[in-house]
């Protein structure tokens, strides 16, 4: 009797890495730090750790529809988002398109100053503001949930020698899962790794990654980004929340049975 054949491998995870693409054009030092652009560095991190499991494309603000057409998003399982200088230039129509995609199951990984992006603020329903300064301070990223998949293989603490300082209060809803908390030389603490769910979609926010520092070349930061992409991948068994209309007296007439 022949052995059963092995099941075919799953299709690759389709990842779109979105980045403004402005900082590296306006500042030669940023271009030197990130010769493939910041989006290119994020894409490299995903490919480095997920390998053949992913198919990665990049998109930027100045492309038609910011590179996020209906067709592009339909072919995206997980979208990563980095923005800083031009949040207001992102089209509301594109934001609505991404919002619908997340509710339908597309994963979203929001990085660093993407906390002020239109899409993150819309999904959170708050201002998403925080305290910050830029003094090249050391950041320690402490894992507060070592069982979470995004923390797999990440040292405790993850040490970033120079980074922009973020601090509380961070005006976001209470994270459904808090994975990382950062501390800085100046004494600030910050919820730097937060997981949320909206509709069928998973969202992860990870704060390290200012353009003035080579943070996206840091091996453990790259590991976190790749882990977050894998965690945010759509799952076919997630059900869309449903609101059901019932007539008055339904509970008494049915005994509460569905």
Q: Which domain holds residue 80?
A: 13-126+193-237
pLDDT digits (tens, 9 = 90+) for 139-193: 999 999 999 999 999 999 999 999 999 999 999 999 999 999 999 999 999 999 9
What is the distance between the alpha carbons of residues 215 and 203, in angstroms, rounded to a whole number?
21
Q: What is the mean pLDDT of the chain?
A: 91
Q: Is residue 137 part of a domain?
A: no
pLDDT score, position 8: 72
Q: How confident is the model at residue 241 (pLDDT cuts 50, 70, 90)?
A: very low
pLDDT digits (tens, 9 = 90+) for 111-150: 999 999 999 999 999 999 999 999 999 999 999 999 999 9
Q: Is residue 20 part of a domain?
A: yes
Q: Is residue 90 part of a domain?
A: yes
Q: Is residue 101 part of a domain?
A: yes
Sort 8 into a burial class: Cβ within 10 Å, 0-12 / 13-18 / 19+: exposed
pLDDT score, position 235: 80
pLDDT digits (tens, 9 = 90+) for 45-94: 999 999 999 999 999 999 999 999 999 999 999 999 999 999 999 999 99
pLDDT at 240 over 50: no
Q: Is residue 164 part of a domain?
A: no
| CATH code (residue 71) | 3.40.50.880
pTM of the shown model? 0.89
Q: Is residue 214 part of a domain?
A: yes
Domains identified in the chain, total number: 1
Q: Is residue 179 part of a domain?
A: no
pLDDT score, position 11: 87
């Amino acid at each position: 009797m022949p052995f059963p054949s092995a099941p075919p491998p799953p299709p690759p995870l389709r990842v779109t890495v979105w980045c403004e693409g402005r900082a590296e054009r306006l500042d030669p030092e940023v271009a030197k730090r990130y010769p493939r652009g910041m989006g290119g560095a994020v894409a490299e991190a995903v490919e480095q750790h997920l390998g053949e499991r992913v198919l990665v494309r990049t998109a930027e603000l100045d492309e038609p529809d910011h590179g996020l057409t209906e067709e592009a998003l339909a072919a995206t399982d997980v979208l990563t988002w980095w923005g800083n200088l031009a949040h207001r230039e992102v089209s509301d129509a594109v934001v609505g398109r991404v919002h619908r995609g997340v509710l339908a199951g597309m994963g979203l990984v929001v990085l660093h100053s993407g906390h002020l992006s239109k899409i993150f603020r819309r999904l959170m329903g708050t201002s998403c503001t925080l305290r910050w300064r830029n003094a090249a301070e050391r950041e320690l990223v402490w894992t507060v949930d070592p069982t979470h998949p995004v923390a797999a293989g990440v040292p405790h603490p993850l040490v970033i020698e120079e980074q922009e300082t973020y601090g509380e209060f961070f005006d976001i809803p209470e994270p459904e899962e808090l994975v990382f908390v950062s501390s800085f030389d100046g004494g600030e603490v910050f919820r730097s790794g937060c997981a949320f769910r909206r509709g069928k979609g998973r969202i992860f926010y990870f704060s390290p990654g200012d353009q003035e520092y080579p943070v996206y070349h840091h091996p453990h930061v790259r590991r976190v980004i790749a882990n977050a992409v894998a965690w945010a991948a759509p799952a076919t068994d997630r059900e869309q929340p449903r609101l059901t209309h019932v007539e008055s007296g339904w509970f008494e007439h049915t005994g509460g049975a569905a």
